[in-house]
């Protein structure tokens, strides 16, 4: 099994392992509505993988609104409080198809696993969905200063796993995350619709379509 030791897997959280995207959408929508405007699901696609403050700036821009730095902090905090209230009610039912099977297979094969997410609430989500024990390293929005498509989150995750970037395979559902993985010199598997994910090395509807064999084949290409 020596060849598997060199591989490390880095997972984005929202939309890859668990479905929290719906709660981000609901919380941002609630915020926009409280400010007197709305935005579409298509616009919401652009927020995937983007950190909280940048998301807020995009939404305010859509609503044609200007806010001071202090007001932005208050609005971001308000959105987060609504979001946290929602995710605190999450259960293991919200783990996406294939996540448990793949994580179990990787863990039993001795492959290092990290989280590479923009989320600042990843620890709550992993606890509520009973996934925390699979991870050798957690790199999230509390530990990085730059947002995807900057590769910082993935490079730091690789460092925490004590492995080189070229040994890493990243699982992403957002174009910003795909670009970040590529910028970090990593292989990337896109999870979701092909139209929203360009330049991935492999694409799958969800993790149920991914096996260790496919990851090894991708890594060895």
What is the reported pLDDT for 19? 87
Q: Is the pLDDT of residue 87 over 80?
A: yes
Q: Any catalytic annotation for residue 14?
A: yes
CA distances to 8, 28, 128, 188, 214 from 203, in Å: 18, 28, 28, 9, 11
End-to-end CA distance of the chain: 18
Instruction: Mention every residue, 6+ apart, whose C-beta is less than 8 A from residue 39.
Output: 28, 29, 32, 59, 62, 63
SS3 assignment, position 203? strand
Q: What is the pLDDT of residues 88-143, one digit of tens each?
A: 999 999 999 999 999 999 999 999 999 999 888 999 999 999 999 999 999 998 99
Q: β-strand 112-116 against 137-139: which pairing, if any?
A: parallel
Q: Which of 14, 38, 93, 206 is catalytic?
A: 14
Tell me the whole-structure pTM to 2 decimals.
0.86
Q: What is the pLDDT of residue 213?
A: 94
Residue 41 has pLDDT above 50, yes or no: yes
pLDDT of residue 4: 53
Q: Which two tokens stand for residue 21?
A: 């995207």
Q: What is the DSSP string of 154-165?
A: HHHHHHHTT--G
Cα distances (Å, whole numbers) of residue 183 to 12, 134, 210: 16, 26, 23
- Over residues 174-203, the mean pLDDT reads 93
Position 20 scores a pLDDT of 85
Residue 23: pLDDT over 60: yes
What value does the mean pLDDT take over residues 155-175? 96
Q: Which residues of 116-149 are buried (b: 16+ CB within 10 A; e: fewer)?
A: bbbbbbbeebbebbebeebbbbbbbbeebeebbb
pLDDT interval class at 162 (50, 70, 90): very high
Q: How many C-beta atoms surround the C-beta of residue 85 within 10 A?
A: 11
Q: Is 136 one of the annotated active-site residues of the chain?
A: no
pLDDT, residue 16, reads 96
Q: What is the mean pLDDT of the chain?
A: 93
């Amino acid at each position: 099994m020596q060849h598997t030791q060199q591989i490390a897997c880095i997972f984005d959280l929202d939309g890859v392992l668990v479905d929290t995207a719906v709660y981000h959408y609901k919380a941002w929508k609630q915020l926009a509505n409280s400010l007197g405007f709305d935005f579409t699901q298509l616009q919401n696609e652009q927020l995937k993988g983007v950190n909280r403050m940048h998301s807020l700036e995009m939404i305010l821009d859509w609503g044609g609104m200007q806010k001071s730095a202090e007001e932005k902090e208050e609005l971001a905090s308000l959105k987060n409080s609504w979001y946290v209230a929602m995710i605190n009610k999450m259960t293991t039912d919200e783990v996406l198809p294939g996540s448990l099977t793949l994580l179990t297979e990787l863990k039993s094969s001795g492959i290092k696993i990290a989280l590479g997410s923009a989320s600042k609430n990843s620890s709550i989500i992993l606890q509520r969905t009973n996934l925390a024990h699979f991870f050798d390293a957690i790199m999230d929005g509390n530990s990085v200063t730059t947002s995807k498509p900057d590769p910082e989150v993935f490079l730091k995750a690789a460092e925490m796993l004590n492995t080189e970037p070229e040994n890493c395979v990243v699982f992403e559902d957002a174009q910003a995350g795909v670009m970040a993985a590529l910028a970090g010199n990593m292989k990337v598997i896109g999870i979701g619709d092909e139209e929203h994910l360009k330049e991935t090395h492999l694409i799958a509807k969800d993790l149920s379509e991914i096996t260790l064999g496919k990851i090894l084949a991708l890594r060895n290409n």
